[in-house]
Amino acid sequence: MADLVKGKLAIVTGGGRGIGRAICQKLAEQGASVLVVDINQESAQETVNLLQKGHHYAYHCDVSKRDDLEKLKAFSLEKFNGKSLDILVNNAGITKDSLLMKMTDEQFDDVINVNLKAVYIITQLFAKLAIDQQRPMSIVNISSIVGKTGNLGQTNYSASKAGIIGFTKSAAKELARYNIRVNAVLPGFIKTPMTAKIPEKVISKFVERIPLGRMGDPEDIANAVNFLCSDLSSYMTGAQVEVTGGLDM
């Protein structure tokens, strides 16, 4: 199926590498114009250089800072001719793992601020724009299967990802009347720079628990996101879509 998001205007956060980059590539391939947001300017630009068709832009900011996101909104309005977004993908995320007994307040707060608070701020800013312009919008928040299951050493991360699920459902209820859909994707264990730091031994143990017998590729997540951004999912909101190869069913 081609051009599922033809002519749509999209922002993807954390688009400089990994899952975010694959999402940008898929949306661009399917006809969207993509504004790639990342804390790393160079990697955001590298993603833009990989995108085909349409007009695409790189933007450097820290999504956990409201000031940065206000400036992103102004940049988006300038590049997209004053129009609100059709698609917002909240993908940027970090880990700062530690066992609970050793967790510092800084590790906890940093992860909550980037993974969860940023989703609240950016959604608030861009949903307001769509409501003011009476334009529909699809918002996809990247959570994680550990938001449902928990994981050793990840109280901060799994709390942030569980928070995204609750946020998604509440926002979906509030925004449905404006034709703004909000859904969450829960990836399992995906091959990206984030998981590249995990020792090989731990990876094989994990893979044993995956019924489909392999780690996911970033494109597996991008395909689900593309579907949720397209009109094929027009009757879906508040959903949590697991893309895990069956891990932790």
> Per this entry, what is the length of the chain?
249
Rg (CA), the chain: 17
Report residue 55 as tokens: 């007009």
- Least separation in angstroms between residue 159's CB and ligand NDP is 12
The residue among 131 and 207 lying less far from ligand NDP, judged by its C-beta, is 207
The residue among 16 and 130 lying less far from ligand NDP, judged by its C-beta, is 16
For residue 55, CA distances in Å to 7, 43, 153, 171 come to 10, 17, 41, 30
Annotated catalytic residue, options 57, 59, 157, 235:
157
Annotated catalytic, 59? no
- Least separation in angstroms between residue 244's CB and ligand NDP is 9
Angstrom distance (rounded) from CA 128 to CA 230: 21
- Least separation in angstroms between residue 187's CB and ligand NDP is 4
The residue among 142 and 165 lying less far from ligand NDP, judged by its C-beta, is 142
Residues found near ligand NDP in the complex (CB under 6 A): 13-14, 16-20, 38-40, 43, 62-64, 91-94, 114, 142, 144, 187, 189-190, 192-195
For residue 83, CA distances in Å to 70, 76, 80, 86, 126 come to 15, 8, 6, 9, 11
Angstrom distance (rounded) from CA 9 to CA 27: 10
The residue among 127 and 185 lying less far from ligand NDP, judged by its C-beta, is 185
Residues with a known catalytic role: 157
